[in-house]
Chain A
Amino acid sequence: MADTPERIITADAVVRQVAFTPDGGSLIGVCQDGQVRFWDPQSGALQRAVPWTKEDLRGVTLSPDLRLLAASGPEKAIKVWDLKSGEMRHRMPALPIAPGELAISPDGKMLASNAEAENTVRLWDLAAAKQLLTLPDGLGDSSLLFSPDSSLLVGANSDTVLRVWHAGSGKHVAVIDDLPVTMFAMVFSPDGRYFGAAGADRTIHVFETGGWKKVAALNGQPEMITALALAPQGRILVAGGFDDVTVKNPTKVLIWDVPARSIMRTIPARQRVESVAISPDAQWVAVADAEKTVQVWSASPKA
């Protein structure tokens, strides 16, 4: 009982990113087969599937408001689709190297991309499909994330450094270079006052964004962390990851009570976790795994 999900949704393709719609009425899955699937989180029934690309996907990201979807593929151009209609809205000019990681700002105005071999992050004006800034980045692949007010962009590189830029000017706000290893996943609190990063050391490092000082370290994840999600109220944090020897090994998803800094629930995943999401009412947690399923769990342990 404790270790069974409420529902298992079979997605027919690996789900790269999951998200609950703000009204909680749909669970969105961005699938590696180039379809976005919408499921009813209560019944698990497929509501609709929107085909949007046939390309072999590299970077893919949903905008925080879930209206847009950006992806990069072998064509080396970032394309942006309307999530509802599946129509392509914007297409950035082609780049020398296919971008890896992507992020869309919460205000829907900017897109950030990076390419490992270039050691740069590019900042784009989404509507104009024009590059605004080229930011010198560190070594290796990096994850990108905008702050909730869209004023900051954070890049986490595999040189183990976190770089925080002012998105308007491209100037460094902070460079955090005392992390021991690479951070793979990042999250901001809804008010932007706190920032969390987690990765190869299985720890969630929490910073306050006034001075970018570390204020907490949440330990307890058995595997490396690649997916983080924070409930809209910021009280519940979900973390999932992968076993570093084989993605086929089972993993654990941890649900944290953030104010108490304690683990509320540990749920099993069958293998590598691709993405996690929390419903707007913080009742449900969705876990997308590498076995092409999305599992919906209750966030709090059953009595």
Chain B
Amino acid sequence: MKFSGLTRRQALESCISRGLLLSGAALSQTKLFAAWQAAEAAAQKPTAREVLGPFYKKGAPNVKQLRPAGDPGFPLTVAGKVVNTKGQLVEGVKIDIWHSDHHGRYDLVGFKYRSQLTADEKGLYTVETILPGHYDDRPAQHIHYLISAPGHKTLVTQAYFATDPFFEGDPDKKFAKRNIVHNRELVRPVSLYEGPGAPRAAITFDICMETA
């Protein structure tokens, strides 16, 4: 058991650093263990980083519907929860997302497929958009993220799609192909379902930020 490898002082420090205990005041071994277990369960691994890429654009509006009527792209819902490594909700988080159209082209004139989202009181965000296309420099479909919040390290990352032909049906084995994707966890499972009038796709992309 991991706990047995920790000294009492280490366990206390671990709990205090996660904001679970205010100080190492007299605590029974059982209570300390319970507090440590709770902290361990709540603690999260920070989301892996990816490159920012050349096509970021400042000033995107906060829009949850990025898919205009009649868009030829495959409808996609992206949703997730934002927490920090202590398992806490992140106040004032701003989630910049941007991706290409279904041909792989970014809008650099306007803000098509670009939004600066916020999270709700439960830490959840959601956006309606389309599956991005492929382009030469990064031949795997992806959505860019730039996430910032007071008191937290700015996180730059990307979400990928397990259904992408780039992964040849086997993202476990093929995710690192051509050195495009650096982390398997960023390749998200895709739910495909029958929506009103057309098939739709959905992914969840949870975000875990490091405190600054």
Binding site for B on A (CB under 8 A): 116-117, 139-141, 158-160, 180-182, 184, 199-201, 224, 244-248
19 A-B contacts (beta carbon < 8 Å): A116-B52, A117-B49, A139-B146, A140-B52, A158-B53, A158-B54, A159-B58, A160-B57, A160-B58, A180-B57, A180-B59, A180-B108, A182-B54, A184-B54, A200-B54, A200-B108, A244-B106, A245-B104, A245-B105
Is B57 in contact with A245, judged by CB distance below 8 angstroms?
no
Given contacts A117-B49, A244-B106, list 15 more A-B pairs with CB under 8 A.
Answer: A139-B52, A139-B154, A139-B156, A140-B53, A140-B54, A140-B156, A158-B52, A181-B57, A182-B54, A182-B55, A182-B56, A200-B108, A245-B103, A245-B104, A247-B137
Tell me which residues across on chain B come within 8 A of A200, comparing CB atoms: 54-55, 108
A246 to B54, Cβ gap below 8 A? no
What residues on B are CB-neighbors of A244 within 8 Å?
A: 55, 105-106, 108, 135
Q: In the complex, which residue of chain B has the Cβ closest to the Cβ of A177?
A: B58
Residues of B within 8 A of A116 (CB): 51-52
Q: Are A246 and B57 in contact (CB under 8 A)?
A: no
User: Does B194 have its Cβ within 8 Å of any Cβ on chain A?
Assistant: no
Interchain nearest-CB distance for B194 vs A (Å)? 31
Write the chain A residue with the least CB distance to B101: A245
Contact between B146 and A181, CB atoms less than 8 A apart = no
**Whole-angstrom CA separation of A182 from B156 in the bound complex:** 16
A182 to B51, CA, bound (A): 14
Least Cβ–Cβ distance between A20 and chain B, in angstroms: 28
- What CA separation (Å) do A245 and B102 show in the bound complex? 11
Q: A160-B56, A245-B136, A247-B136 are in contact. Are A181 and B108 (CB under 8 A)?
A: yes
Smallest CB–CB gap between B13 and chain A, Å?
A: 27
Residues of A within 8 A of B136 (CB): 245-248
Q: Is B55 within 8 A of A245, CB to CB? A: no
Residue with the greatest number of chain B CB neighbours at <10 A, chosen from A117, A245, A248: A245
Which B residues lie at the A interface, using CB under 8 A? Answer: 49, 51-59, 103-106, 108-109, 135-137, 146, 154, 156
Closest to B49 in A: A117
Q: Give chain A residues whose Cβ lies under 8 Å from the Cβ of B108.
A: 180-181, 200-201, 224, 244
How distant is the Cα of A200 from the Cα of B156 in the complex, in angstroms?
19
CB B121 to nearest CB in A, in angstroms, measures: 28
**What separation, in Å, do the CA atoms of A248 and B154 have in the docked complex?**
35
How close is A160's CB to chain B, nearest CB, in angstroms? 5
Nearest residue in A to B146 (C-beta to C-beta)?
A: A139
Rounded to whole angstroms, the CA-CA distance of A248 and B137 in the bound complex is 11
Q: Closest CB-CB distance, B212 to chain A, in whole Å?
A: 13
A160 CA / B55 CA spacing, docked (Å): 9
Roughly how many angstroms separate A201 CA and B109 CA in the complex, as a whole number? 7
- A141, A199, A246 — most chain B CB neighbours (10 Å): A246
Q: Which residues of B contact A180 (CB under 8 A)?
A: 57-59, 108
> Known: A201-B108, A244-B105, A245-B103. Is A141-B135 also a contact (CB below 8 A)?
no
Q: Verify B56–A140 contact, CB threshold 8 A.
A: yes
> Measured between C-beta atoms, what is the minimum distance from A234 to chain B in Å?
28
> How distant is the Cα of A221 from the Cα of B79 in the complex, in angstroms?
38
Contacts of B105 in A (CB 8 A): 244-245
Task: Find chain A residues with CB under 8 A from B109 CB.
Answer: 201
CB distance from A100 to the nearest CB of B (A): 10
Nearest residue (CB) in B for A272 is B136
CA distance A117 to B51 in the complex (A): 8
| Nearest CB on B from A254, distance (A) | 18
Residues in B with CB closer than 8 Å to A139 are: 52, 146, 154, 156
Q: Assess whether A141 is in contact with B56, with CB atoms less than 8 Å apart.
A: no
Q: How far is the CA of A31 from the CA of B51 in the complex (A)?
A: 26
Which residue on chain A has the smallest CB distance to residue B53?
A: A158
Would A245 and B51 count as touching, CB distance under 8 A? Answer: no
Chain B contacts for A160, CB-based, 8 A:
56-58
